[in-house]
Amino acid sequence: MTQHSLPRGLARRHALTGAATVAIGLPLLAACGGDDGGDAGGGAAADDPAADSTSPAPSDDPGSGGSGAGGGGLVAASEVAVGSGVVLAAEQLVVTQPSEGEFKAFSAICTHQGCPVEDVVDGQIHCPCHQSMFSIEDGSPQSGPATAPLDEVPITVEGGRINLA
């Protein structure tokens, strides 16, 4: 009795078809993964900065203090709640207010694998890719696989606007 019941050419054809399916299918599955909103994996909000509803739209009007030419402002201080923060996806920054009148800014790129952070939850900066959480006070990792802090970015507060220093 032979070990293979199918002709040799048919088995090779199945193997090549399977390999091609895996080579094409895995990247497509990875791109679609985590889009259910409650699962880690970086759905639309993690991959598309425009999908981040927590970020105020930057203004290109120089008189508005937005991040456009001549404005220099990142966000109004009044938009950053005490004990929370705002993710500015276009600038790849997260601005926090750990205590009344104290503002901090950090890179919005997770130090674990470079995913953009998504939001501030319960006083911690949240990365949706692998659930790392960072302190709003100093950017240090609080939980998850990240072991390095978010890079702090120097800022100033002038006229009720938060600006890059």
In sequence order, which residues have a C-beta less than 8 Å from that of residue 30 and are 6 or more positions away? none
Phi then psi for residue 145, to 5 deg, are: -75, -15
Supply the CATH classification number for the domain 44-164. Answer: 2.102.10.10
C-beta of residue 133 within 8 angstroms of C-beta of residue 126: yes
pTM: 0.59
DSSP 128: T
Q: Is residue 131 a contact partner of residue 138, using CB atoms and an 8 Å limit?
A: no
pLDDT of residue 73: 85
Which residues of the chain have a pLDDT value below 50? 2, 6, 10, 26, 28-71
Query: Which tens digits make up the pLDDT trace of 94-118?
Result: 999 999 999 999 999 999 999 999 9
Beta pairing partners, 76: 161
In 9-132, DSSP assigns E strands to 73-76, 84-88, 93-99, 102-107, 119-121, 124-126
pLDDT tens digits for range 118-136:
999 999 999 999 999 999 9
The domain limits of the chain are: 1-32, 44-164
